[in-house]
Amino acid sequence: MKRYLISLALCGSIAATGSVAYADPLVLLGSDYLETKAGTTFAGAPFKGVPIGPGSTDTIVERLQNATLSGVGSSATVPIELVSLNLVSAVPINLGAGLGLYYITLQSMRGGPASTGEMTINYNTADDGVAGTPEGTFSSFFDVFFDVRFGALNGPIVQSDVLVLSNASALWDADPSPGTVLVTGSVGSQAANLHTGKALGQLDFFPVHIEEQHPGGALHIVDPAVPEPGSLLLVGLGLGLAGLRLSRRIRAG
């Protein structure tokens, strides 16, 4: 009799509202592992990334709070921090210490101010669980406190300054594209980009492509980082050897 009454109440709720109650979407805090792409420029010169890991990662952004949304069409703003940036000029240039390669790192790596900002996440379509069909867009900005170093990532500092990098309407997906670097952790893990134990409505966040600009002309273009080619080669070699051993056992049998 009790189960019958519960069923009647549920049916009445559906009839009254036209839907069943669900959890509001929540984009979980975490980290974005990114690699710098061609077209990145600073001081009028081309720059490229210096991978520091995992995989091809040279840039790491932390989303410091969960983004609580209220359904499709909603948005939420969260604090972010650029915690890693490692670039090198693609060609020899002269930024004050003579002709050579110049590197860009964050002042926070030597105890200087943090490069912080905000990200506004827009939830445009419900998560379909499929990579390649983005769930929304986002805009962001950072106050980037950076050093220009000569000759190496830890070389002498020839310039220290701050600039604002911002992006508008970049795409994000709740599901990682094949080949993306994945750092797994439980819900609440700041380092993770793929969270385990997610509850109903909890979403991960994977940027599709970002172009951050400064009014003075600096441009930083990034995509999701991928595993190192060497690690993929080792995986392929391991699978090949496993297949060879299996083939030998079948022939021997």
Helix, strand or coil for residue 45?
strand
Residue 114, φ and ψ in degrees, nearest 5: -75, 150
What number of CA atoms fall less than 13 Å from residue 16's CA on the CB side?
7
Taking a C-beta distance cutoff of 8 angstroms, is the pair 245, 232 a contact? no
Structural domain boundaries in the chain? 26-223
pLDDT the model gives residue 22: 56
CA proximity to 68, closest of 58, 60, 78: 78
Beta strand 99-100 with 184-186 is unpaired
Q: Is 211 exposed, middle or buried (0-12, 13-18, 19+ CB in 10 A)?
A: middle
Q: Is 159 exposed, middle or buried (0-12, 13-18, 19+ CB in 10 A)?
A: middle
- Helical segments of the chain, H only: 2-17, 229-252
Could you list the mean pLDDT of each consecutive 10-residue stretch along the chain, which spans 253 residues?
A: 38 42 84 98 97 98 98 97 98 98 98 98 96 97 98 98 96 97 98 97 97 93 88 36 35 42
